[in-house]
Amino acid sequence: MKKIANILFTLSALTFLGSCSKTLDAPTKSSLDESVIFSTPGLAKGTVTGIIQSMCETESYRGRYLVYYGTNTDVEVFNSLRTPTTDKARLSNYNTNANNTEMNKETNVWAKSYEGIERANIAIRGLRKYGNVESNPELAQILGEVLTLRAVLYGDLIKGWGDIPARFEPVTSETAYLPRTDRDIIYKQLLADLDEAAGLLAWPNETSATSSVETVNKAFAKGLRARIALYAGGYAQRMDGTIRKSTDPDLESTKMYEIAKKECLDIIESGKQRLLGFEEVFRKLNEESTAAGLESMWEIPFSEGRGRVIFDLGVKHETEDKYTGQNKGGTVGPNALMLYEYDKEDVRRDVSVVPYKWKDGIQDPSSLNALYFGKYRYEWMKRRVTSTNDDGLNWIYMRYSDILLMAAEAINELDGPGAASTYLKDVLDRAFPSNSSKVTTILADATVSKDAFFSEIRHQRALEFCGEMLRKADLIRWNMLSAQLNVAKEKLQKLEAREVYIEHSNGLPDKVFNYNQLPAKIYYKTKADGETVEIYGLNFGDTDVAGASYASNKAWKLVGDTDKDKYWDCLFTKDPNTRQYWPIWQVFLDTSNGMLNNDGINF
């Protein structure tokens, strides 16, 4: 598999890609004239490698952003949340500060993202000036990739920190220190950039350059533009502490839904991406199959010596075994509620939520307060991980099912549920391949009204993307972050007490969670293959009486008898709506020449 994330720069022509990780100093002078670098495809391509490298450094996306942005929600949680005062837990429970020891480092994701942005800015300037992209498709592709990757970085910085400094030209002495920029200005630039990028890029498999999911293509640029439009048109906490939509008429919600609709329909109608079987999607990921044109639209390409996808987000292996040389997994996992959110016939459940870990090469039931994302598994890899710190698995940044659900959401708002239902149906048909009547029932309830359809979209996005860290940003743009976390807190208490919970969804029939129909314990045995566990007691209607025939059992609880901190109380320790972002870390405040602060949000 082609891996570009950790390639050493051997071309002296690329030495201009200097570090800007802390103070954004001006880059070093290139040893070749930029006119040569940016008119030569083989040299210009190295700029893409440089941007990806910034994303894959130790404390960048690899071990920080992918792990901690996105927790805690009603879908994903930090699995050690019952120790709420550690700095790792505080990143997740809406109670961190600027001195967080996990993040307050000058090599942190904030710095590496701006390093990647500076590299992109230099490349964009050079390609526009020397690349002759109008007549050179190779250089046009590279410019499109760079514009898209810069949009990825800026979009994720906004998700993490709200208003951020914006620089769309290479740094100069006059622009070395900048204050926060209103995110609306940045969003408008990103939407324009991605529109341009889509015109430069080839579709998946249209050229040799777009045959791998590790390379940006037209479909991903359009999908990213749709996603950013939904963020830009949605709610967010502003730097004065209020939660509102943008007041910029260019970012009005209807206009943003129109962009999302257009871009998603362009992708759908192109026929260049398609759904796979749900388990197949993640088996291909873990097998490191990088062919473009399937469901994965773009992946952050980690080398075998980089990346902590399974290490932090995968099924836990307590000991080394034939599948892995590292005893890792499960830093973050599913909220315990997710085990019971899926219909038992939904094929996504057993892929997404795993109630066991591995010990000495054998599956062993975990606990209700420590479940695992089954989308990332050492045991599905074709190679045995030998690194002690990294697994090298790529991160799927966007899937085609997201295009379908964004299309459904946008078209429902613009044209109503009848026009939108076909896109939701595609996702449901895959979730229930053997039960078309279930799909019919869900769609019949959802298409009663726009509100009902939106409620179903909200539910299906939770089920579809569990473990993919999209939920927090979704809840923020819908203005539902605190509300849904409070619902989750109440449901968790009902689950622990084995009491009924009735959820009132806007426009949909009430959902009844019969937690009283769950046994107090789970019951299990090892199957004949000597490594796979069979667990009874995970479905509504299972009973302790029926489970008595199994060889082993264990209590299935969220809280132990001696636990001081309750699982549900540790989801958030401050109101999430007042802490939708992280603070800018102290090391960057101290080196900002007084231009940066965390005013407006009570850190």
pLDDT for residue 15: 32
Identify the pLDDT of residue 32. 65
Task: Report the residue count for the chain.
Answer: 603
What's the average model confidence in pLDDT over 386-404?
96
- Tell me: pLDDT of 31 over 50: no
Which of the pair, 603 or 298, is modelled with greater confidence? 298
Does 316 have pLDDT greater than 80?
yes
Chain-centroid distance, C-alpha 7: 25
Secondary structure (DSSP) of 382-415 = SS-B--SS-----EEEEEHHHHHHHHHHHHHHHH
Residue 16 has pLDDT above 50, yes or no: no
Question: What does DSSP assign to residue 593?
Answer: T
Residue boundaries of the structural domains of the chain: 32-57+107-295, 400-464
pLDDT band (50, 70, 90) for residue 33: confident
Summarised one tens digit per residue, pLDDT across range 198-208 is: 999 999 999 99
- Please give the average per-residue pLDDT across 267-290, as a whole number: 98
Residue with tokens 């889509």: 198
* Residue-level pLDDT at 349: 98
Query: Over the stretch 210-251, which tens digit does the pLDDT of each residue have?
Result: 999 999 999 999 999 999 999 999 999 999 999 999 999 999
SS3 436: helix
pTM more than 0.85: yes
Q: pLDDT band at 6, cuts 50/70/90?
A: very low
- Say yes or no to pLDDT of 14 above 80: no
Instruction: Please tell me the distance from the alpha carbon of residue 556 to that of residue 103, in angstroms, as a whole number.
Output: 34
* Top-tier CATH class for 32-57+107-295: mainly alpha
Amino acid at site 556 = W
- pLDDT score recorded for residue 29: 47
Q: How confident is the model at residue 17 (pLDDT cuts 50, 70, 90)?
A: very low
The secondary structure of 145-197 as a DSSP string is HHHHHHHHHHHHHHHHHSSB----S---TTTSS---B-HHHHHHHHHHHHHHH
What pLDDT sits at residue 305?
A: 82
**Res. 294: pLDDT tops 90:** yes
- Coil, strand or helix at 243: strand
What is the pLDDT averaged over residues 411-430? Answer: 98
- Please tell me whether the peptide bond between 389 and the residue prior to it is cis, using omega within 30 degrees of 0: no
What does the pLDDT average to over 323-349? 97
Q: How confident is the model at residue 128 (pLDDT cuts 50, 70, 90)?
A: very high
Percentage of residues in the chain having pLDDT higher than 70 = 95
Q: Is pLDDT above 70 for 377?
A: yes
Structure confidence at residue 314 (pLDDT)? 98
Provide, rounded to the nearest whole percent, the portion of the chain with pLDDT above 90: 90
Residue 491, token pair as written in the block:
């449901």
**What pLDDT score does 9 carry?**
34
If pLDDT is split at 50, 70 and 90, which confidence band does 525 have? Answer: very high
Q: Is the pLDDT of residue 412 over 80?
A: yes
- pLDDT on residue 175: 94
What pLDDT sits at residue 73? 98
Taking 70 as the threshold, does the pLDDT of residue 3 lie above it? no
Kindly state the average pLDDT of the residues 297-305.
93
For residue 365, what pLDDT band results from cuts at 50, 70 and 90?
very high
